[in-house]
Amino acid sequence: MTSKSELTKQRIVLAANQLFYRKGFSQTSFSDVVNEADVPRGNIYYYFKSKEEILKAVIRYRLDTIAGMLAEWDKSIKEPSKRLERFVRIMYDSTPALLRAGCPMGSLAMEFAKGDQELKGEAKKLFDLFQRWLANQFSDMGYANEAHDLSLQLLARGQGLIVVAQVYQDPGFLERGTQELNNWIDELKRYA
């Protein structure tokens, strides 16, 4: 059974997760998190001494969530090419949120790209998790030597699609782009 203290901490992390996604880390204040989590201001300092500590907890939460999702795909989807297509479908399925706020991973990584190296490294962990998983899928398809580069290509193409679709508020561009990624995966499958 989860204690009241654990539930409060979880509520703070979930609230911060949403705020960091919608507003960005820099634009989110402690007061924003307190209000969103609906906890007394003094309580937040019991759990987190700084906004950076909250960010690290948010990244751990995201990593755990993503790892669980990827493990489920590995278990429920037999073909690696179909698992890759499921990865691509995240973009299509998330179109409204992506057009509104961008990619939660990409936005966070870009926010720290020119700043704090520790926070940049924390945000990179999200990409690393996906990159390793994607590389495993490409390796399982028969592209062991190219798996790393193929995984980076898929990440880069996906992030580019999201950024351009958000800038132009064009869901059709994102839909066409994800279809092109699926065609690319199908082509790789045929030549493996």
What's the sign of the alpha-carbon dihedral 43, 53, 160, 136? negative
Asked if residues 163 and 106 have their Cβ atoms less than 8 Å apart, the reply is yes
Determine the average pLDDT of the residues in 29-49: 92
Task: Name the average pLDDT for the chain.
Answer: 95
pLDDT score recorded for residue 104: 94
The Cα–Cα gap between 53 and 93 comes to 31
- With a cut of 80, say whether residue 179 has pLDDT above it: yes
CATH of domain 77-191: 1.10.357.10
CATH topology of domain 1-57: Arc Repressor Mutant, subunit A (1.10.10)
Q: Within a 10 A sphere around the Cβ of 133, how many other Cβ atoms?
A: 20
pLDDT score recorded for residue 177: 97
Question: CATH topology of 1-57 equal to that of 77-191?
Answer: no
166 Cβ contact list (under 8 Å, min separation 6) = 98, 99, 100, 102
Determine the average pLDDT of the residues in 155-182: 97
CA distances from 116 to 27, 121, 191 (A): 16, 9, 43
Asked if residues 123 and 109 have their Cβ atoms less than 8 Å apart, the reply is yes
pLDDT score recorded for residue 130: 98
- How do residues 118-168 score in pLDDT, each as one tens digit? 889 999 999 999 999 999 999 999 999 999 999 999 999 999 999 999 999
pLDDT score recorded for residue 116: 78
Where in the chain are the domains?
Answer: 1-57, 77-191
pLDDT bin (cut points 50, 70, 90) of residue 2 is confident
The pTM for the full model equals 0.94
Instruction: Please give the backbone phi and psi of residue 189, each rounded to the nearest 5 degrees, phi first.
Output: -60, -40
pLDDT bin (cut points 50, 70, 90) of residue 1 is low
Determine the average pLDDT of the residues in 90-109: 94
The Cα–Cα gap between 24 and 65 comes to 20
More confident residue, 2 or 170: 170
The Cα–Cα gap between 13 and 37 comes to 8
More confident residue, 62 or 42: 62
- Would you say how long the chain is, in residues? 192
